[in-house]
Amino acid sequence: DVVDIRTFSKTGMFTFDPGFLATAACESKITFIDGDLGQLYYRGYPIEQLAEHSDYLESCYLLLNGELPTAQQKSDFDYMVLRHTMLHDQIHNFFRGFRRDAHPMAVMVGVVGALSAFYHDSLDINDPHHREVSAFRLIAKVPTIAAQAYRYSKGLPFSYPKAGLSYAENFLHMMFSTPVAEYKVNPVLAKALDRIFILHADHEQNASTSTVRLAGSSGANPFACIAAGIACLWGPSHGGANEAVLKMLDEIGSVENVPAFMEGVKNKTHKLMGFGHRVYKNMDPRAKIMKQTCDEVLNELGLHNDPKFKLAMELEKIALEDPYFIERKLYPNVDFYSGIVLSAIGIPVAMFTPIFALARTVGWIAHWTEMIADPGMKIGRPRQLYTGAQRRDYVQVDARR
Ligand code: ACO
Q: Give Cβ neighbours of residue 322 (< 8 Å, ≥ 6 apart).
A: 262
Q: Is 34 helix (H, G, I), strand (E, B) or coil?
A: strand
- pLDDT band at residue 2 using 50, 70 and 90 as cut-offs: confident
Residue 313 Cα to ligand 1 midpoint, Å, equals 19
Average the pLDDT over each of 107-111, 140-144, 190-194, 379-383 and give the range with the smallest value. Answer: 379-383
Residue 241 Cα to ligand 1 midpoint, Å, equals 11
Catalytic residues, which ones? 277, 335
Q: Cβ distance 222 to 365 under 8 Å?
A: yes
**CA pair distance 159, 151, nearest whole angstrom:** 8
Residue 120: pLDDT over 90: no
Residue 376: pLDDT over 80: yes
Q: So what's the pLDDT on residue 11? A: 74
Q: So what's the pLDDT on residue 122? A: 73
Residue 308 Cα to ligand 1 midpoint, Å, equals 22
- pLDDT band at residue 267 using 50, 70 and 90 as cut-offs: very high
**CA pair distance 178, 352, nearest whole angstrom:** 21
* pLDDT tens, residue by residue, 122-164: 778 999 999 999 999 999 999 999 999 999 999 999 998 999 9
* pLDDT tens, residue by residue, 308-329: 888 988 998 998 899 999 999 9
Cβ-based neighbour number of residue 33 at 10 Å: 21
Please give all residues whose beta carbon lies within 6 A of any atom in ligand 1, as ranges: 237-239, 241, 265, 271-278, 328, 330, 333-335
**CA pair distance 329, 320, nearest whole angstrom:** 9
Compute φ and ψ for 376, nearest 5 degrees. -90, 10
Nearest by Cα to 81 from 145, 142, 149, 172:
142
- Indicate the length of the chain as a whole number: 401
Report the predicted TM-score, pTM, of the whole model to 2 decimal places: 0.94
Of 330, 336, 353, the residue with max ligand 1 atoms within 8 A of its CB, to mutate for a pocket test, comes to 330
Nearest by Cα to 147 from 180, 183, 174:
174
Residue 288 Cα to ligand 1 midpoint, Å, equals 19
328 CA closest ligand 1 atom index: 21
Which residue has the CA at smallest separation from atom 30 of ligand 1? 278
**CA pair distance 35, 275, nearest whole angstrom:** 14
Q: So what's the pLDDT on residue 47? A: 98
Which residue has the CA at smallest separation from atom 15 of ligand 1? 328
Strand 45-46 to strand 39-42: parallel, antiparallel, or no bridges (unpaired)? antiparallel
Q: So what's the pLDDT on residue 387? A: 95
Cα–Cα distances (Å) from 186 to 146, 193, 291, 308, 345, in that order, read 21, 11, 19, 22, 9
DSSP secondary structure, 316-331, as one string: HHHHHH-HHHHHTT--
203 CA closest ligand 1 atom index: 51
Q: Can you tell me the mean pLDDT for 277-303?
A: 93
Please write down the HEC assignment for all residues of 213-227. Answer: HHHHCCCCCHHHHHH
Q: So what's the pLDDT on residue 306? A: 84
**CA pair distance 275, 150, nearest whole angstrom:** 28
Of 17, 282, 328, the residue with max ligand 1 atoms within 8 A of its CB, to mutate for a pocket test, comes to 328
Which residue has the CA at smallest separation from atom 41 of ligand 1? 273
DSSP secondary structure, 255-288, as one string: GGGHHHHHHHHHTTSS--TTB--SS-SS--HHHH
Of 209, 230, 278, 337, the residue with max ligand 1 atoms within 8 A of its CB, to mutate for a pocket test, comes to 278
277 CA closest ligand 1 atom index: 35
Please report the beta strands in 2-144, taking only residues with DSSP state E, as ranges in sequence order.
31-34, 39-42, 45-46
Rg (CA), the chain: 22
Which residue has the CA at smallest separation from atom 47 of ligand 1? 238
Cα–Cα distances (Å) from 97 to 110, 153, 214, in that order, read 10, 12, 29
DSSP secondary structure, 146-201, as one string: HHHHHHHHHTPPP----TTS-HHHHHHHHHH-BTTBPPPPPHHHHHHHHHHHHHTS
- pLDDT band at residue 91 using 50, 70 and 90 as cut-offs: very high
* pLDDT tens, residue by residue, 208-253: 999 999 999 999 999 999 999 999 999 999 998 888 999 999 999 9
Residue 276 Cα to ligand 1 midpoint, Å, equals 5
200 CA closest ligand 1 atom index: 51
Residue 277 Cα to ligand 1 midpoint, Å, equals 6
Q: So what's the pLDDT on residue 231? A: 98
**CA pair distance 272, 328, nearest whole angstrom:** 13
**CA pair distance 146, 56, nearest whole angstrom:** 17
